[in-house]
Amino acid sequence: MLKGYIHAGWTWCKSHVYIWVMLFLYQLLWGFFLYRFLESLIVPLLHRYPNPAPTELSSQLFWMESQFQLTKTNHYMPYLWAIVSFIGIRMLLTPLIQAGTFYSMAHHRNDSGLTFFSGIRAAWKRMSLIYILETLVLLAPAYWVIPYLAGEFANSSGWKALAVGALPITLGWIIGGWIVHHLFLFWQFGISSETSFLQALKLGCLRALPVLGISLVFACISLVSSIMVTAAAMFWTGMTALILQQAYPALRALLKLWSLSSRYHAWENSPEHNR
């Protein structure tokens, strides 16, 4: 059963290569500008760090100066506003891409080639609302989880005790967030296919097993691919490693798009949806 949905998702990907290219360029440019920003922030600090320290107090003075700069001055404000701008741009562009992509999936039978842009026009407001709600719901447990983990870290007598105290709640947060993400995904599928909210969730619950199964399959594929690319880059240095590192974002974008389209076909082929 999963094989048929994955094959249907691949067929959709082959006929919508332009969406894959746009998604790849989006991730590539985002990663490039984020890397350059972090490089401009971290490299000067590393240059100033005393290593090896000429005296025992040099490292302590470095950390004392850093603490003073953070707590007593506003020199960090340009960097803070830059981070806020990055987050704002990300939250603005992501729903647009989601609207166009999901709309193209929902209208794949009568796709004229411009369905992606029609989807942005038709659904970007609702997709933006869903994206904001999902982000808030996923981050809400942090209000309780982070202080708990901080307390466990401060009071733990060793790594084993820390793992016993922190691992269950961390795994619970991750698994719960994964399930909540799919509930919002069903909602997005419903908006793209003009299905009501309750009906979209009902169809998603009916097809939860194949949808979650496909998600697990592609998560494993992505993990294996990442490990293989990293290992190959470590053994094959030089131009080969550079080509692999540059090609991996394209593979990651393809796997993400393929996974989404496969899950949509699993959701769409619910018996109730086909009545």
Query: Region 97-110: what's the mean pLDDT?
Result: 87
pLDDT at 254: 93
> Cis (ω within 30 of 0) for the bond into 52?
yes
pLDDT band at 167 (very low <50, low <70, confident <90, very high): confident
pLDDT at 91: 87
pLDDT at 111: 62
Which position has the higher pLDDT, 171 or 63?
A: 171
pLDDT at 129: 93
pLDDT at 246: 73
pLDDT at 153: 75
pLDDT at 232: 79
Which position has the higher pLDDT, 125 or 160?
A: 125
Q: What is the pTM of this model?
A: 0.83
pLDDT band at 54 (very low <50, low <70, confident <90, very high): low
pLDDT at 68: 67
* % the chain with pLDDT above 90: 38
pLDDT at 182: 94
Q: Give how far Cα 64 sits from Cα of 27, 49, 50, 226, Å.
A: 37, 12, 13, 39
Rounded mean pLDDT of the chain? Answer: 84
